[in-house]
């Protein structure tokens, strides 16, 4: 049970965390802070937060857990505003999609208090954003990756894990570097590729005709290109080095396939397509098996 949880950013991610903690009876009080007074008022109206704080000192008074759920580029500024009021024993965590840059910002802003910052990343989302999109079961059965620092105490990491477990999530553990490499590959690169395709088509003189014939395969392939450009600019820059490696590997793969096509090497193309299809079908089968277990109580998974 937490006494007072402070949520910095009461949108989809922070708001859903608040609603899930409330539903689980895991927090006595939830207070929100944020840049938008309208969002805070709306979050209070929706019962996501008990109070909206305008004064950081008052907001931090009595808080035992702080979640930063804002665009990653704002993490440093938010930590700077919290640092003067950060008492020993209070834990700060975050929900950012990149971890290396967040950890660097936290080290810069928190200095000797870095042990109080436990970085995290819930792997969950919806098409919509803002407090109105928040739901109490967003994290049920979803992964939350904690990228604990060497300075963190095991007890503090467990405390953050307990909050996410109360939300129904499954806890995974990676280093910040492992995390960023993994998500560069399976999330950040696909976003770049989808943005590239739609921008490429949109720039053609006959774009209107092309879009007219785009069908369901195109719709699914490009869904992530509907994501916030600002957010993905920040993620791209925050995870630049890992993302560059993935883009380069992909460019090589696509260039090899271009060559197969230019040489009309159907057997080689079919090999690549078959490898991909098999991996995709195996992955979907694993997901479906996991979905079946979704209603069982979430448990911490060890060793990853």
Identity of the residue, 70 or 194, whose beta carbon is nearer to a copy of itself in the bound complex: 194
Identity of the residue, 44 or 222, whose beta carbon is nearer to a copy of itself in the bound complex: 222
Residue 187 CB, shortest distance to a copy of itself, in Å, is 6
Which residue has tokens 């042990």? 115
Say how far residue 37 (Cα) sits from the centre of its chain.
Answer: 24
Identity of the residue, 98 or 116, whose beta carbon is nearer to a copy of itself in the bound complex: 98
CB 106 within 8 A of CB 117: yes
Identity of the residue, 72 or 82, whose beta carbon is nearer to a copy of itself in the bound complex: 72
Instruction: Identify the CA nearest to 180 among candidates 296, 286, 98.
Output: 98
Identity of the residue, 28 or 278, whose beta carbon is nearer to a copy of itself in the bound complex: 278
CB 40 within 8 A of CB 32: yes
Residue 102 CB, shortest distance to a copy of itself, in Å, is 17
Identity of the residue, 55 or 248, whose beta carbon is nearer to a copy of itself in the bound complex: 248
Residue 153 CB, shortest distance to a copy of itself, in Å, is 26
Residue 180 CB, shortest distance to a copy of itself, in Å, is 11
Residue 179 CB, shortest distance to a copy of itself, in Å, is 9
CB 233 within 8 A of CB 188: no
- Other CB atoms within 10 A of residue 54 CB: 9
For residue 169, give every residue at least 6 positions away whose Cβ sits within 8 Å of its Cβ, in sequence order, or none: 122, 124, 139, 140, 141, 142, 143, 144, 298
Residue 256 CB, shortest distance to a copy of itself, in Å, is 9
For the chain, what percentages of helix, strand and coil (3-state, to nearest 5) are there?
A: 60, 10, 30
The strand pair at 27-33 and 120-122 is best described as unpaired
Radius of gyration of the chain (CA): 21
- Other CB atoms within 10 A of residue 224 CB: 16
């Amino acid at each position: 049970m937490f006494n007072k949880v402070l949520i910095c950013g009461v949108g989809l991610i922070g708001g859903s965390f608040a609603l899930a903690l409330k539903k689980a009876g895991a927090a006595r009080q939830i207070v929100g802070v944020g840049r938008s007074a309208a969002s805070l008022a709306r979050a209070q109206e929706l019962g996501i937060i008990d109070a909206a704080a305008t004064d950081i000192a008052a907001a931090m008074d009595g808080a035992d857990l702080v979640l930063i759920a804002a665009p990653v580029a704002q993490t440093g500024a938010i930590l700077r505003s919290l640092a003067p009021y950060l008492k020993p024993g209070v834990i700060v965590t975050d929900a950012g999609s990149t971890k290396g840059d967040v950890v660097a910002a936290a080290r810069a802003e928190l200095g000797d208090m870095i042990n109080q910052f436990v970085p995290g990343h819930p792997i969950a989302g919806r098409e919509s954003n803002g407090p109105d999109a928040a739901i109490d079961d967003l994290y049920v059965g979803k992964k939350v990756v904690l990228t604990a620092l060497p300075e963190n105490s095991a007890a503090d990491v467990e405390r953050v894990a307990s909050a996410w477990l109360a939300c129904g999530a499954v806890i995974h553990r990676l280093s910040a570097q492992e995390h960023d490499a993994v998500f560069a590959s399976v999330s950040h690169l696909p976003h770049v590729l989808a943005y590239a395709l739609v921008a490429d088509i949109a720039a053609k003189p006959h774009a209107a005709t092309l879009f007219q014939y785009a069908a369901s395969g195109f719709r699914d392939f490009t869904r992530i290109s509907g994501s916030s450009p600002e957010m993905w600019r920040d993620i791209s820059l925050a995870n630049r080095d890992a993302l560059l490696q993935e883009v380069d590997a992909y460019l090589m793969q696509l260039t090899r396939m271009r060559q197969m096509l230019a040489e009309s090497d159907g057997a080689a193309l079919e090999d690549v397509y078959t490898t991909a299809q098999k991996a995709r079908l195996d992955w979907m089968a694993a997901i479906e098996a996991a979905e079946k277990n979704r209603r069982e109580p979430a448990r911490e998974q060890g060793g990853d």
